[in-house]
Amino acid sequence: MAEQKTTPQIKQQLPNASAVLVLGILSIVSGCFILGLVLGIIGLAISAKDKKMYDEHPEGYTGYGSLNAGRILSIIGIVIGGLTILIWIIWVLILGGAFLTFLNGASF
């Protein structure tokens, strides 16, 4: 019986997993500003390449948990940033309507 020698395959870290995680966290922390929306979109865009690499060859990479957590945090940051912008738009419309009502009622 011949013994087969198998060489263990060295797994590589996904290149942008840590960066996506950091961008996802920063997008939530700065979600009250437009910066959160921008960082979330960047994190989601960067994660697409690594996710594709992992889907093609899952046994060759580690760090998918960090990548997936960063993607989820980026999506949450995008939602928070989008809601913040929507709230600001509504706030400006309400104040603008009140100001126009005040100007129409005032006589100079």
pLDDT in tens, 56-68: 999 989 999 999 9
pLDDT above 70 for 1? no
CB of 69 closer than 8 Å to CB of 20: no
Q: Helix, strand, or coil here: 16? A: coil
Residue % of the chain over a pLDDT of 70: 90
Confidence label for 11 from pLDDT (cuts 50, 70 and 90) = confident
pLDDT above 90 for 101? no
CB of 62 closer than 8 Å to CB of 15: no
As a whole number, mean pLDDT of residues 74-91 equals 94
pTM score, whole prediction: 0.82
Two tokens at 75? 């999506």
Q: Helix, strand, or coil here: 12? A: strand
Which among 18, 11, 10, 8 is positioned nearest to 50, based on CA atoms?
18
CA distance 93 to 106: 20
The residue ranges of every structural domain in the chain are: 16-103
Residue % of the chain over a pLDDT of 90: 69
pLDDT tens for residues 16-57? 999 999 999 999 999 888 899 999 999 999 999 999 999 999
